[in-house]
Amino acid sequence: MRIATWNVNGINTRLERLLDWLKSSGTDVLCLQELKCTAEQFPAQALADAGYEAAFTATGRWNGVAVLSRVGLTDPVTALPDAPEFEGVLEPRAVAATCGGVRVWSVYVPNGRDPEHAHYQYKLRWLAALRDTAARDAGGDTPYAILGDFNVAPKDEDVWDISLFENSTHVTGPERDALTALAATGLTELSPRALKYDVAFTFWDYRQLNFPKNRGMRIDHIYANPAFAAAVTDSFVDREARKGKSPSDHAPVVADLEL
């Protein structure tokens, strides 16, 4: 089974590319983030025509998440339990489903904006709610994984130049501690192969030729319980999907499982 995560940065803008990638990659289950569409705008029929069921939550702003599956989709959950609100709004940032006997969460962790901004504290509270969910649900024999855009680079080498990130989000101690706390629930972060460079970056800003210069960040992750991790035969970042006309600024992170 092939399971992947991809911040698509606008599902309708990227729909043709997405459908082509699903076909060429042979992906069975795909977790998507940053849909940037309303529920009414979600392309459910186009995905169904391609053979994929979908569980999703979206409100049309800078968020929205989905799970796509061609191996069955049951028990969808369209909100993270006990997730905090931001400015009185419960944002659509998490969705879960069981697909082919594997339980997956697709998550889009808040950006944080700036360590002095209220959005940063919201990010930490959101990550704490995610940790609590994993602590409740990740045990047992069912393969289970949390996949998505975490907006956190776990180590200094996960950004192209750490000296440029002083006093910035994505690399602060509390954010990284939150990922450590998530792993402490019994999850392991998969270490994807980089198909070209030493570090498997997953995001490159559109500006200043950052992608061809490989000025990237590794902020998209897969955290797996022992049953999931034991089944993994390979994991990699599909950097090719970041190339070409009108790409997302993220590349898919892929895991192959032998179940």
Long-range contacts of 141-144 (CB under 8 A, 24+ apart): 141/227, 142/98, 142/101, 142/102, 142/103, 142/227, 143/101, 143/102, 143/103, 143/224, 143/225, 143/227, 143/228, 143/231, 143/257, 143/259, 144/102, 144/103, 144/104, 144/224, 144/225, 144/227, 144/228
Residue 205 assigned to a binding site: no
- 97 by Cβ neighbours in 10 Å (0-12 / 13-18 / 19+) ranks as buried
d(CA 187, CA 146) in angstroms, rounded, equals 9
User: Tens digits of per-residue pLDDT, 134-183?
Assistant: 999 999 999 999 999 999 999 999 999 999 998 899 999 999 999 999 99
Please say if the pLDDT value at position 61 is more than 90. no
User: Tens digits of per-residue pLDDT, 173-214?
Assistant: 999 999 999 999 999 999 999 877 888 999 999 999 999 999
The tokens describing 63, both together, are 């968020």
Q: Which residues are known catalytic residues?
A: 108, 149, 250
Q: Which pTM was predicted?
A: 0.97
Q: Which domains does the chain have, with CATH numbers?
A: 2-257 (3.60.10.10)
Nearest to 56 by CA among 87, 237, 134, 41: 41
Task: Give pLDDT, residue 28.
Answer: 98
- What's the Rg (C-alpha) of the chain? 17
Residue 7 assigned to a binding site: yes
**Residue type at position 245:** K
Please say if the pLDDT value at position 50 is more than 80. yes
User: Tens digits of per-residue pLDDT, 75-127?
Assistant: 999 999 999 999 999 999 999 999 999 999 999 999 999 999 999 999 999 99
Task: Give pLDDT, residue 199.
Answer: 86
Q: Cα torsion for 237, 9, 147, 80, to the nearest 10°?
A: 170
Residue 114 assigned to a binding site: no
Residue 63 assigned to a binding site: no
Task: Give pLDDT, residue 65.
Answer: 98
